[in-house]
């Protein structure tokens, strides 16, 4: 389900609105995921604090969301643009790709909570497709 020109336009416009809060959104999305889908904690076995305002969640949420924001500028070639991140996830982290879908869902929930009027159905479908494309690019080198 490839990104149309309309999808890319919706994603860019919406990201323009949310970019100031990107770090906080990343933190909350990650925090929600760890609480609502506790099995995802296995990837962070060294962490001591999985709460929403944990410094570990805050830092990692920012890392992940920054990479996603970066990907907004690479929508014309996500697989190429995310190649090194894909290598990292394939060889070092080896996160089962089903978890990309889970995190994506929690990003959508966080967006709905904080931007109820801007996160319209049309924005929703564009962002959902974008996150799916990012996830596919991230899993591209897995096998």
Partner 1 sequence: MVEWTDFERATIQDVFSKINYDVVGPQALARCLIVYPWTQRYFGNFGNLYNAAAIMGNPMVAAHGKTVLGGLDRAVKNMDDIKGTYAELSVLHSEKLHVDPDNFRLLADCLTIVVAAQMGAGFTPAVQAAFQKFIAVAVSALGRQYH
- Residues in touch with partner 1 (CB under 8 A): 31-32, 35-36, 52, 105, 108-109, 112-114, 116, 119-122, 124-125, 128
Smallest distance, Å, CB 11 to partner 1? 14
Q: Which two tokens stand for residue 29?
A: 């999305």
Tell me whether residue 105 or residue 141 sits nearer to partner 1 (CB atom): 105
| Least distance to partner 1, CB of residue 19, Å | 20
Comparison of 27 and 86: residue with beta carbon closer to partner 1: 27
Smallest separation (angstroms) from partner 1 to the CB of 6: 11
Burial (CB < 10 A; 0-12, 13-18, 19+), residue 84, is exposed
Q: Are the C-beta atoms of 139 and 131 separated by less than 8 Å? A: no
Rounded least distance, CB 82 to partner 1, Å: 24
CA angle 99, 101, 107 (to 5 degrees): 105
Q: Which is nearer to partner 1, 10 or 71 (CB)?
A: 10
Quick one: the chain helix, strand, coil %, rounded to 5? 75, 0, 25
């Amino acid at each position: 389900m490839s990104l149309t020109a309309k999808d890319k336009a919706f994603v860019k416009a919406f990201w323009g609105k949310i970019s100031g809060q990107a770090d906080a959104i990343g933190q909350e999305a990650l925090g929600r995921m760890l609480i609502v889908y506790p099995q995802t904690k296995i990837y962070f076995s060294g962490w001591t604090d999985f709460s929403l305002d944990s410094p570990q969640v805050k830092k990692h949420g920012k890392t992940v969301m920054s990479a996603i924001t970066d990907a907004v500028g690479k929508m014309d070639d996500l697989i190429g643009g995310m190649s090194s991140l894909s290598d990292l996830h394939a060889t070092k982290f080896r996160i089962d790709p089903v978890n990309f879908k889970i995190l994506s869902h929690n990003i959508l929930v966080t967006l709905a909570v904080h931007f109820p009027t801007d996160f319209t159905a049309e924005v929703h479908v564009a962002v959902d497709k974008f996150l799916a494309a990012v996830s596919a690019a991230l899993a591209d080198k897995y096998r």
